[in-house]
Structure formats: structure tokens, C-alpha cells
Amino acid sequence: MRLPLQIATVVALVAVGGGIWYMTGRGGGHGANQQHANQARPVPVLAAHVTRGDIAVTFDAIGTLRANEAVTVTAKTAGLVRSINFTEGQLVEAGSVLIALDDNEVRANLAVAESARRNSAQLLERARTLLQRQNVSQARVDELSLQLAGNEAEVRAVQARLQDLTIRAPFTGYTGLRQVSPGALVRPADVVTTLDDTRTVKLEFTVPEASLRNLRQGMEIAALSSVYPGQTFVGTVTAIDTRVDAITRTVAAVARIDNEDGRLRPGMFMTVQLTLDNRANVVLVPEESLVPVGDRQFVFLVVSGKVERRPVTIGARSRGVVEIAEGLQGGELVITRGIQKVRDGVSVEAEVVNGASAGGASQSAARPTL
């Protein structure tokens, strides 16, 4: 019984050894050759030439619109509304009468004050004539002069109260909603309506402190609103705050936008696009070619069919392209697609999307937007 068992064990050991030999010898060599062949095959990627061109240094911010001039129209004195001389949303000229309050009592008081002034003037004139004949004292003439001055002051005071009963537009603008009705009693500080000059609107926005050196009055801005998609409103920077906010490290600025058609309303939010600088003849690469590693930026170049990782220093960004301040000179070939499949020293087959492909292949129809 032991001899057959020993023979079976030897046969099993021979079979296992043969399998190991096959895998490590013949079969292993085939796997190594296949792996070597796979490593030798170039990795297909898309690449683009590094170019030189102009780029605009832009800044986007959120701004709020307000009227060029705005006021809440209120009553200065108490009175009954006699007439309303405007309609809601009407364009009124500066000085136009908006509300007239009842002025019968004040006009009566004005008539009394003017009568007293005339009487004092006549008495003073008579006294001065008598003074020349020495029939009246100088003291009486002085007394009548003071009386006349008091009467004239009273007339002016009543005239001022009469003017307060007429509410006028302080500037040219559009009236808001009417808050009173004819016959209503209004008191001092009661709101009558609002008045906004929106023929020109002011767009208020903030700019980071770092961009302050490029910000100046007269710069042109482009403003966008979700209310009017696809439309751009052009304005001009007219004012820059003299102080930088100590918390946000930003400075406030104001731009004026023409609004004769009245489409823009105070309080609307708008996106501000401000061109801070225009740089000419700088090195540009597609934004998708950048590979961030920590706080550094890299690109993968195609040099003689192999990958070379190159550190770069970037500058401005605009519409899918990035300025390279250091690291490239222009004309190099950078990988834009397939970056995740390559590493330094790997062979690649690059299809160029803005020029002839590497190795003499035909040009690609796609071109990046620069």
C-alpha cells in the first residue's frame, strides 16, 4: 500500500513543478514581452502650440443700481390736500408743483401782514417829512423804522409758510406711487411720493485692494443683468472711494450708465465686467493644459515624442486662455487632453489641435478659442 501512495505523491510533485516551470519560464517570458510591448506603445493625447498674443486683465464683481438722484417727497407743514398735479411714473421737471395744500388761511394772514407793512411805510414817510421841519423827534422816526422792519419780516415769514403749502419737484425725475388723496390731512414728514432721476443710473460695486492700482476714473465697464440675458450695458467709472474697507480689503467705485430707455431700475443687481489692463505679446496656453500641484502650476510638454513636465508661473486668465509669465517662450507643444494618462518621460502620440500633428500627421479641424 505504501508503494502506490509514494508513486502518486511523486507524480503530483512533478505535475506541480511542470506548472511552475511553464508559468515562470515559457508563460512568464510571454507576459514580460507583452508588458514591454504595451509600455513601448505611445499614449495618444491632444496637444496645442504655445502662442503669443494679447490678453485683457479683467475683473468681475456684483454691483447694485441706484438712481442718479433720489428723494422721498414729504410734507413740510400740516394742511389739507387741495390738488394733486402728477400721475404715478410721470416725468416731471424741476420746480413743478406736485401737491398743493389748502392755503386760504395763510393767504389771509399774508394780506394782513402786507397791510400792516404798507401802513408802517406810510407813517415812516410822513415822519421823515416832519423831521425836516423839526415837527417830530428823531426817536419817533427810528421807532417807525424798526416797526416797518418788523412788518416786512412778518410778510416774509407768511410768504415762506405759503410756499411750504406747495410741494414742488426738487429735480427732474420720475414720480413714484402716490401716497395721499385729495382732501387728506397731511402732517410734517408725511410721505407724499418718491422722485427718482433714472435717465442715468449709478452702478455701485467693490474692487479688491490689489486691483486698486489699475482702477481709475473714466474706465469703461460692461454690466450684465439676468433680467436682460445676452445684453450688455456700457458705463464709465465716475467715482472711486477715498478709503479701503479695513475688513473686506476692498474699495467702492461708482459707474454711470445711460438709461434713457428706462429699462434699468434702482435696486437691480448687475454683474460688472471691468478691464483693468491690456497686455500685449504675452505667452498664452489653453487653460486646460495647466496641472496644479499644491500652490504650483505645471504643464506637460511634448518634446521629441516624449513627455516633459515643466513648472510655470501664470499671470492673467481670460476666456479659456492663461498668460504664462515664466517657464515658456512660445512655440512649445503642450498636452491639453489625456494629461491623466501621462507622466514625465512617457512616449506619446500627439494630435495637435491648432497646427500640424506630431510626426507629420494631418491637421486637426478643431482650433482652440484664444
In this structure, are 143 and 169 located in the same domain?
A: no
* Contacts with 328 (C-beta within 8 Å, 6 or more apart), sequence order: 50, 283, 285, 299, 310, 312, 334
Q: Is the dihedral of CA 110, 111, 115, 121 positive or negative?
A: positive
Same domain, 321 and 354: yes
- pLDDT exceeds 70 at position 2: no
Q: Does the residue 300 lie in any domain?
A: yes
Q: Which residues is 351 bridged to in the sheet?
A: 46
Work out the number of other CB atoms within 10 angstroms of the CB of residue 55.
Answer: 22
* Tens digits of residue pLDDT in 110-151: 999 999 999 999 988 888 888 887 777 888 888 889 999 999
Residues 174 and 82 in one domain: yes
C-alpha cell at 45: 493625447
Q: Which of 249, 278, 307 is the last residue of a domain?
A: 278
Does 292 share its domain with 347? yes
Mean residue pLDDT across the chain = 84
Q: How many domains in the chain? A: 4
pLDDT at residue number 130: 85
Model's pTM, two decimal places? 0.62
Place 359 in a pLDDT band, splitting at 50, 70 and 90: very low
Dist CA 296 CA 194 (whole Å): 55
- CB burial of residue 99 (10 Å; 0-12, 13-18, 19+): buried
Do residue 355 and residue 288 come from a single domain?
A: yes
Domain hosting 48: range is: 43-55+280-360
222 and 117 share one domain: no
pLDDT of residue 187: 94
Examine residue 315 and state whether it is found in any structural domain, yes or no. yes
204 and 216 co-located in one domain: yes
Last residue of one domain, picked from the residues 122, 155, 189: 189
Q: Assess whether 81 and 185 both reside in one domain.
A: yes
CATH number at residue 92: 2.40.50.100
Return the CATH number at 316.
2.40.420.20
pLDDT, one tens digit per residue, over 232-288 is 999 999 999 999 999 999 999 999 999 999 899 999 999 998 887 788 889 999 999
